[in-house]
Structure 1
Amino acid sequence: MGEATSERKCVHSGVPQGSVLGPLLFVLFIDDLPSYLSGVARLFADDLKLIYNVSNINVINEDLKMLEEWEQMWLLTFNPSKCKVMHISYNSNPENSYILHDTALKETCSKRDLGIIINNTLN
């Protein structure tokens, strides 16, 4: 702020935050990720959505473990606090736990996506 400056640090990986090319370069970098997962993966800018139609939650947790292996391979990390789970169903959903980096992912009933609010009953 003002005249204050921070110490210089070398960046060895990543894309520039807020750059025009950043989201495109990020999507190109993670382009192989969907091939490691059994769910449907949708990539947009720096956002990843995983979509499943499953009766066995173990499929999802296995994919979350695969995400952790993929991260190690490419030296990236997904932040569990930025990850959310939403069950979209007309029926009630049992309590399930989805784990990423030994952290249970938080569940939500609605989510804003590209300016549209989607809730878990699609109303």
Structure 2
Amino acid sequence: MGDMDSGIECTLSKFANETKLCGVVDTLEGRDAIQRDMDRLEKWAYVNLMNFYQAKCKVLHLGHGNTRHKYRLGGEWIESSPEEKDLGMLVDEKLNMIWQCALAAQKANCILGCIKRSVASRLREVILPLYSAVIRPHLEYCVQPLESSPQEGHGPVGTSPAEGHEDDQRAGAPLL
């Protein structure tokens, strides 16, 4: 795996069993560089008796006005996708996290329901540690830090609704 990125012009990210090729395509040269790298990766896989599963290969086009070029891996065209899951995060072509946050809130609400049905005690000393250990991580998973958040009214990462801003009770905010 160490020589996989030999000769690659664009950015190649490797993590566990995932490989991602990223590049800026604002010119035809950028498009061609990505295709050359795809061809290099295909040759590398052939030489190393490996293959990239074409069914799992997708192109995610990011940016306003993206021309959505098509790319090949071997003799197959790679399908374009409006969103992809990357290391557990759902990323769409606009880098929007609305769906990710909605899914995290839904999962947290399901867990909260399980706790409500299965834990007889409603004492703060019992519920608060459960909330902190089991529910809160799901909600923090999709929260962006205040300085990078495009929306106003979010408290800093790690604050509960009680510690956050008053605006956190606005319409559309997940309530638990």
Confirm or deny a common fold (TM above 0.5): yes
CA distance in 2, matches of 1:86, 1:52: 11
Please list the CA deviations of residues 64-91 of structure 1 after superposition, one character each: whole Å capped at 9, or x if unmatched.
Answer: 11112112221111121110000110x1
**2:154 maps to what in 1?**
none
1:46 and 2:20 are equivalent in the alignment: no
Q: Deviations over 1:32-76 (max 9, x none)?
A: 112231111111111101111132211111111111211222111
Residue of structure 2 aligned with 1:75, choices 45, 49, 53: 49
Instruction: Map 1:10-49 to 2 at 5 A.
Output: 30-49=1-20
Higher helix proportion: 2
Q: Is the 8 A contact 2:85 2:91 kept in 1?
A: yes
Provide runs of 4+ in structure 1 moved above 3 Å.
none
Report the alpha carbon displacement of residue 95 of structure 1 after superposing the two structures with TM: 3.9
Gaps of 5+ in 2: 97-176
5+ residue gaps, structure 1, are: 1-29
**Once the two structures are aligned, what percentage of the paired residues are identical?**
29
In 2: Cα distance, 1:108 partner to 1:92 partner:
16
Per residue, is there more strand in 1 or in 2?
Answer: 1
Residue 113 of structure 1: which of 81, 86, 100 is its match?
86
Count, aligned residues: 93
Residues 13, 21 of structure 2: 8 Å contact kept: yes
**1:19 maps to which residue?**
none
Structure of greater relative contact order (alpha carbons < 8 Å, 6+ residues apart): 1
Higher gyration radius (CA): 2
